[in-house]
Amino acid sequence: MQLAPGWAAARARSRMRAMAYGQAYEAAETTHLRRQSREMGSGNNVVQMTGTRLRNQARHLDRNHDIISGGLSSVIQNIIGPAGINVVPTPRDAEGNILEGVVDQIMPLYAAWSKRPEVTWMHDWASCQRLLGRTWLRDGECFVQELRGSVPYLEHGSAVPFSLELLEPDLVPLELDDRARRITQGVERNAWGRPVAYHVYRQHPGDPDSYVPETKRVSADLIRHLRTVDRIGQVRGISILASTFTRIEDLKDYEESERIAAKIAASMAAVIIKGDPTMYDPETAPKADRRMRFQPGMVFDNLVSGEDVKSIDSQRPNPNLEPYRNGQLRAIAAPMRISFSTLAKNYNGTYSAQRQELVEQYGAYGVLAYEFVSQMLRPVYERFVHIAVASGELILPPGVTPQSAASADYLPPPMPWINPVHEAQALRTMVRSGFKSATAVIAERGGRMYDTFEQIEHERRWARELGIVLDTDPALVADSGTAQQNQVAKPTSASDEDTQ
């Protein structure tokens, strides 16, 4: 060490590195059985290199693969539903009290706007939500441009001057990068990474008459960007199907191979075995092409000496096809945020197993639903209320701000009932015990407490006028029960006793 201290220090460092390497994660080792993982840099760099191809592949599978198309439809059905996510306005005054007068103003305005919310008037609001949701999950993202007030050549669909323009991700160029202007993949950001503007094509680049489409700069305040990201700082979204492409294509190829094998097997029936070559006599061998039409009860009566008939065992259908397919579908269902039973349409199992799967899966549906609410539905609804106030269509009481008037609860489709009797009894117990309000129960089922109570009140009053006793009217049921008890307990008269 005194002769060559540098060499000694290098050997010491090497020993320390070797010791640290031996104590590191085994998964980090590269062996002939484990390939080294590749890292492409930041999330934006990954999207830049693969985003367009992944989006095109996802669209191809949605168009041509029945499992993926049905799976996406089921996810949209469970996070958005047929009537869209329910918006329950909760405007409050300074003391925190809900202003029912303001709610009564908002609801008809919102209902009228929901009939024609977008610029083409081709979709209502529920249909827009489903279309945006499908584009978001399949392509990884979607955009909406808000159009407010007077816009040239645009006629709004309701009294509130507010419309939406639905945009596919293709309209924001993924390849547009300009460091000087802080533009990354078509999104212009400030020094902190917050979007300040979006550069949008004036025409879809995939249209037949689109050659070199121009871009326009749209303020981020007018754009709603719904996207799926899995990296911090990622600007553009990635399809939820991205991690399933290989498995989906393998499953599709395997099913196609099995179908072809089954068709080939169905075309082969039997062969004629000639037997020992010494027994074959060319003079007596049949000269014509020997084909036999198989039918029940047929008899082979034209065989010559030494010949035998043997049927071909095709081993089709393959008994392992369904277990293999189910295993692949279980793996595909997880990244799609859908249950295996829903994806495979396989509902075998006990009540407890089905309910456990449904309860667990609705956690995933809830996450997707509230991503949709936070990135798309809430900003759009709040903007609608602000513009309704600014346009004079919504009159607020003194002291109530547009911000408080835009407060609302957003309720995705409720979890369906597997056993309605048990579910209803559980909700009734929770309400009567004070653990849950009737308002919350009604709202979760897609209704509004005030509307429901008003309907019940009208129903009871009409039934009383017609002399009909309903189970929903406890007063009449109690009166009817008391009258029946009095009729049974009525004492008999003396003449009745003499008669008896």
Residue 317, preceding bond cis, omega within 30 degrees?
Answer: yes
* Residues 331, 251 contacting (CB under 8 angstroms): no
Q: Identify the pLDDT of residue 41.
A: 79
* Residues 188, 198 contacting (CB under 8 angstroms): yes
Count of CB atoms within 10 A of residue 81's CB? 19
Q: Identify the pLDDT of residue 22.
A: 61
Q: Identify the pLDDT of residue 499.
A: 41
* Residues 365, 336 contacting (CB under 8 angstroms): no
Q: Identify the pLDDT of residue 279.
A: 65
Q: pLDDT, tens digit, for every residue of 142-200?
A: 999 999 999 999 999 999 999 999 999 999 999 999 999 999 999 999 999 999 999 99
Give every residue of the chain whose pLDDT is below 50, as ranges.
Answer: 1, 483-484, 488-489, 492-500
Q: Identify the pLDDT of residue 287.
A: 61
Q: Identify the pLDDT of residue 493.
A: 46
Nearest to 274 by CA among 298, 311, 305: 305
Positive or negative torsion for Cα 473, 477, 483, 487: positive
**Residue ranges of E strands in 58-127:** 86-89
Residue 240 zone, left/alpha/beta (φ > 0; ψ -120 to 50; rest): alpha
Q: pLDDT, tens digit, for every residue of 111-136?
A: 999 999 999 999 999 999 999 999 99
**Residue ranges of E strands in 312-421:** 408-411
**Which amino acid is it at 61?**
L
* Residues 127, 116 contacting (CB under 8 angstroms): no
Q: Identify the pLDDT of residue 479.
A: 58
Residue 325: strand, helix, or coil: helix
How far apart CA 134 and CA 141 sit, in angstroms, is 9
Residues 6+ apart with CB under 8 A from 371: 226, 228
DSSP assigned state of 346: -
Pairing of strands 187-189, 195-201: antiparallel
Q: Identify the pLDDT of residue 281.
A: 66
* Residues 37, 91 contacting (CB under 8 angstroms): no
Q: Identify the pLDDT of residue 495.
A: 44
